[in-house]
Amino acid sequence: MNILDSFSLKGKVALVTGGSGLYGRQMVRALAQAGAKTYMASRNLDKLAEFAGALKEEGLDVFPIAYDQGDEDSIKGLLDDILRQDGKIDVLVNNSVARSGHIDDLTAEKLDEDFNVNATGLILMCREFAKAMADSGGGSVINIGSIYGLVGYDNWLYEGTGLQKTGGAAYYYNKGGMANATRFFAGYYGSSKVRFNCIHPGGYETPATPADFKENYIDKTFLKRMANDTDMMGIIVFLASDASSYITGANIPVDGGLTAK
């Protein structure tokens, strides 16, 4: 077999949650370009449908579907809808995230809402979809973490910018937990040929990125830039495909070398 053939996702069924976000959009496009029938899911169906329409004009096989990761019945319903349509699910990209805000503004209620999506919801997504994958012979789950799940809080990013420090304690907690939950699920479902890996993206540059913030960020990277509109595409296709068939339980930074310092 030609090695390039192992990267193909033709005949595969994939789902990207949070599919209309900054990173989600390029992940959906990548999986669809590689040949997968790709579902994209979030609470905002209108936004998903708009993006899916644009991708269909590019000839890509993409379908929007609504769900709420904070609701167990919605998670199970999402899986049931895909299985009803296609009979299987081969690839899951867990990209949905809720943000509860600055540490100084957190309440117990806000934290409960946050953890319901980012902890409870994530675990339920991993379990339900992995069970379906195991029943059909295997699959790949790709969790989307963050560099903030790998490192501690540091003020360096905001020095001299005049911006409020994020102080997202719950975000650090959830993304750090995601790294080890990935290892747990990799071990638990490994014998069923369901692989679990986690990628940890770095900062994404947009036209709205403040110049001082950008300067601070790129100074900490080896590649001297922030992430762009295509930087997640290759790693997503690789981990979704048979090209990575012997990789599971891995936490992979995609951050221009920032966390390697």
Active site residues per annotation: 171
Whole-angstrom distance, CA of residue 35 vs CA of residue 114? 34
Beta partners for residue 62, in sequence order: 38
Distance, in Å, from the CA atom of 71 to the CA atom of 69, rounded to the nearest integer, reads: 5
Cα(74)–Cα(68) distance, rounded to whole angstroms? 6
195 pairs with which residues across the strands? 140
Task: State how far the Cα of 79 lies from the Cα of 41, in Å rounded to an integer.
Answer: 11
CA distance linking residue 247 with residue 245, whole number of Å: 6
User: How many residues are recorded in the chain?
Assistant: 261
DSSP 152-220: ---GGGGTTT-PPP---HHHHHHHHHHHHHHHHHHHHHGGGTEEEEEEEE--B--TTS-HHHHHHHHHT
d(CA 109, CA 210) in angstroms, rounded, equals 32
Q: In the 8-state DSSP scheme, what is residue 4?
A: G
Q: How far apart are CA 209 and CA 113, in angstroms?
A: 28
19 neighbors 28 (Cβ within 8 angstroms): yes
